[in-house]
A and B are shown apart, each in its own frame.
Chain A
């Protein structure tokens, strides 16, 4: 056996196994594609060697394989939210292919995208996986690590955890779980440990850039998610507006219903600065300037009201429109028992909003106990009146006639459904877009009606309640018990200042799991140069050598979704996942790691189950949702369809016109925002675009979008995706490229005051002039000179968002300049 073979033979005893180190910052993507990879393996005895090209090895094994194909299932628990059941083809202990798994009750719903299929290559690529516990030997970011045992790793990490606690208190220790895997044990184990330890955990939606949607939803609907089942659009909508959501790439499970709707005759309108994959199946593409979405919706609201097409009955009965607002302080007028009040024209008095038989007006001005009051709708109408067609056109870049026709067709469609997407909320004051577009649907009378709504995320109906039953579906009590302590939840928007200024808590120890934090958070230079140096201990638990892992002090090998026991509760289904293949190397599940750490800090009695035991303990046999359930049979199929589930009937969200807002109504008037003069939907311009000095220096608005290649960063290095794309590109309109001497395929340099990145120009008529776009999810390992689009982005705290909840990263509110490299 040659030295090289010895070094890459995983059957070697641990003592002779190779030591790994990462050669960071030396190899370009070009070198990488040639199959060398950026991890080199040198033997502990001092021999240098490079591992064999992984794909060739896999192909050889496939060709020689003789074994029977068996099937095993997994839950695709990445954050695209489709949650597909993956049917894995396993032969000789290896995953060889993936196909859509059929979900009980919904044979129409089986889905597996190209990412979930190709992902098995990344799962089984030993050169990309973290195979063993590793300890940093060089400078942070140098990529130099040595292999250590699990015992040494956990002993040392526990010691450093206790040191940080001793020095700054338990909240200076934090556990950061992102959305890299949303199955229960994978995503919740570290958070549960934080609870047991009294440590800090992070409210992650802000920094990741999804929180604007939640804030906007919460303001108007009272809940952060709410969606019509796409089958409702398929059956009932005459127009479907897909607004800032490239669902054809990013949420493929609902695409089929949209194309069927179109063939039935529904008009599909797609709103995005970029002609995305979703635009290819739309009847109309409305390109819009990034951040202009709330202005477009306000312009349409104004047009609808001016043309007397607004749904007065809905606005009076089910929205806050008839509730009286005090002129003196902008608050809702409150009566006895804090009741919200409306004007009763019959008695000419203010009466509680729930008074029977009152036809409460949405217009007018009334005196109540010496205070002038107006119905909330007046405030909306007056604010919307500022958005004439001409002004809306200036703010959005959408021509006047397009806005007017769209407003008319939308209000004529009866019903029209809007699918909102996070693309439109990655701007400063991000809550405006969702809140305003949802208010447009309300004004048109489409909220809570079949084929209507303004939805966020894909909706499937859950379970029918069983009369008289009190048994919960799942027995989570023990898992929820964190003993004497609980977790200290901190806004993720404050994580940089926690590290640097210890405000509101210090961040001295951090454990990242299911998270490529550095790649998915804004302003990477700031993280590398200011944030990380102020954190004493960084632990990364991950299946792969992510960019974040390179900055860790300890890197722990985590199992992927094909190698562990886990559960995902997604009524009317529950995914039950068992390992399809042996964990690679010495990888362990997140739950196993937290159990090992717990044992070392005196919390072992709260972590007394194996992952399999936890999963088995959760389904409640007393619940009718699990009538006839046999765990071992269900896990063979990867999921259980609850007999109480509703499968055939599409969900119409808010059909009951019940809202969990303070007023109990659809609430476009948000009392909490009065001090910002944003009590009703308002367009706030993009932060960097509206700074004339900045816009002069960096004239292009840049956005990053999610495309067919990535959910987030988990799908880089899947060779089968080479058919689709091999590198990140910068989409730019010819009118922006030509004056800069840039031709299609040229390497360009994109830059601003924060940093730069180089990539190939993709010159296209399919993007708005003045706007550039590159794909999210790519990492420096795959970029020219190890650049990153995150060197261009920024974290700027929004006072209004920090007041209401927390700042949402404005990844699509960035100005840049581009030149030929």
Chain B
């Protein structure tokens, strides 16, 4: 594990599926059309916004996905060029577009399919936890723009941080921990 590890908590009981996080991220990272660094899923449904249950006893749980900035990232292990790397300073997993050849190995290797290949740019793109913003003392855009304050960002490597305490008190869990990559994004 890196010295310091940023992570995120997503409280699905607050998420209304608006996708402000995903749209804002797409714009901020200047992604090409139809390239998004995160995506939304609706629990138990093939398609978003379909409810579960029978009228009128229905419910819906939205689950936004982003890069897990794993402890042992499969994308880094499998990257043939060394473009994909995990930063020791903060645990952020980043891809260097100047080195990346856009082969897509990272997408295949990631158990969560998190990186995306921007065909028009010829390289992979991925969530960077808005590192430039964080370094400037701001929150990642998906965190500060969430109208329901569903997301909490912070140092999961510090057990006294707000996020670590919330993860513990809410019993938040990682997605597919059995893959063994040690995700840094928790859901409750």
Contacts and interface: CB of A to CB of B under 8 A. Distances in A.
B19 A277 contact: no
Interface stretch (A55-63, A456-464, A553-561): A55-63
Contacts of A1: none
A724 B55 contact: no
Contact of B28 (A97, A110, A249, A719): A97
A738 interface: no
B27 A719 contact: no
A719 B18 contact: no
A59 B23 contact: no
A279 B49 CA distance: 12
Interface in A309-330: none
Interface string A444-455: 000000000000
B167 to A, nearest CB: 16
Contacts of B56: 285, 287, 768
B34 A719 contact: yes
Contacts of B168: none
A158 interface: no
B154 interface: no
A118 B34 contact: no
B60 interface: yes
A765 interface: yes
Interface string B43-59: 00000011101111011
A641 interface: no
Interface stretch (A167-175, A250-258, A749-757): A250-258
A26 interface: no
Given A97-B27, A277-B17, A723-B26, A255 B147 contact: yes
A421 B116 CA distance: 40
Interface residues of A, number: 51
Max chain A C-beta neighbours (<10 A), residue from B18, B22, B120: B18
A721 B18 contact: no
Given A275-B58, A285-B58, A723-B23, A62 B149 contact: no
Contacts of A62: 30
A251 to B, nearest CB: 9
B141 interface: yes
A59 B18 contact: no
Max chain B C-beta neighbours (<10 A), residue from A256, A280, A287: A280
A271 to B, nearest CB: 12
Nearest to B55: A765
Contact of A99 (B19, B120, B145, B147): B145
B20 A117 contact: yes
Interface string B1-21: 000000000000111111110
Max chain B C-beta neighbours (<10 A), residue from A112, A766, A769: A766
Contacts of B104: none
A721 B20 CA distance: 9
Contacts of A764: 50-51
A699 B17 CA distance: 31
A63 B39 CA distance: 23
Interface in B113-169: 120-121, 141, 144-145, 147-150
Interface in A268-313: 275, 277-281, 285, 287
Chain B interface category by residue count: 35 or more
Interface string A42-63: 0000000000000110010011
Contact of B19 (A110, A279, A285, A708): A708
Contact of A256 (B19, B51, B55, B147): B147
Nearest to B132: A69
B27 A281 contact: no
B24 interface: yes
B36 interface: yes
Given A117-B23, A256-B147, A765-B55, A59 B16 contact: no
Contacts of A255: 16, 147-148
Contact of A252 (B18, B49, B50): B18
B33 interface: yes
Nearest to B14: A259
B30 A59 contact: yes
B18 A63 contact: no
Contacts of A724: 18-19, 22-23
Nearest to A719: B33
B180 interface: no
Contacts of A766: 50-51, 55, 58, 60
B14 A56 contact: no
A100 interface: yes
Contacts of B80: none
A248 interface: yes
B128 to A, nearest CB: 14
B24 to A, nearest CB: 5
Nearest to A278: B16
B55 A733 contact: yes
A100 B32 contact: no
Contact of B60 (A252, A280, A719, A769): A280
Nearest to A53: B33
A55 B33 contact: yes
B96 to A, nearest CB: 15
Contacts of B186: none
B27 A117 contact: yes
A721 B23 contact: yes
B62 interface: yes
Contacts of A485: none
Contacts of A97: 24, 27-28, 30, 141
Contacts of B120: 56, 59
B27 A118 contact: yes
A299 B141 CA distance: 46
Given A59-B33, A62-B30, A281 B16 contact: yes
Nearest to B33: A55
A99 B20 CA distance: 10
Contacts of B26: 720, 723
Contact of A277 (B16, B59, B61, B150): B16
B19 A281 contact: no
Given A259-B148, A766-B51, A114 B20 contact: yes
A278 B141 CA distance: 22
A774 interface: no
Nearest to B32: A59
Interface string A239-254: 0000000001100110
B27 A98 contact: yes
A723 B39 contact: yes
Nearest to B38: A723
Given A63-B121, A114-B19, A765-B55, A55 B32 contact: yes
B147 A110 contact: no
A785 B28 CA distance: 35
Interface in B55-106: 55-56, 58-62
A259 B147 CA distance: 10
B151 to A, nearest CB: 12
A112 B24 contact: yes
B60 A275 contact: yes
A764 B28 CA distance: 34
A722 to B, nearest CB: 6
A96 B27 CA distance: 7
B125 to A, nearest CB: 11
Interface of A: 55-56, 59, 62-63, 89, 96-100, 110-114, 117-118, 120-121, 248-249, 252-253, 255-256, 259-260, 275, 277-281, 285, 287, 708, 719-724, 733, 762, 764-769
22 contacts: A56-B33, A99-B144, A100-B145, A113-B20, A114-B23, A255-B148, A256-B147, A256-B148, A275-B51, A275-B60, A277-B17, A280-B59, A281-B148, A708-B17, A708-B18, A723-B23, A723-B26, A723-B40, A764-B51, A765-B58, A766-B58, A767-B55
Q: Which A-B residue pairs are the 8 nearest by beta carbons?
A: A252-B147, A766-B51, A55-B33, A62-B30, A248-B16, A114-B23, A114-B20, A277-B16
Given A120-B27, A766-B51, A766-B60, 11 more contacts: A97-B24, A100-B144, A113-B20, A252-B18, A255-B147, A277-B16, A279-B60, A285-B56, A722-B34, A724-B23, A766-B50
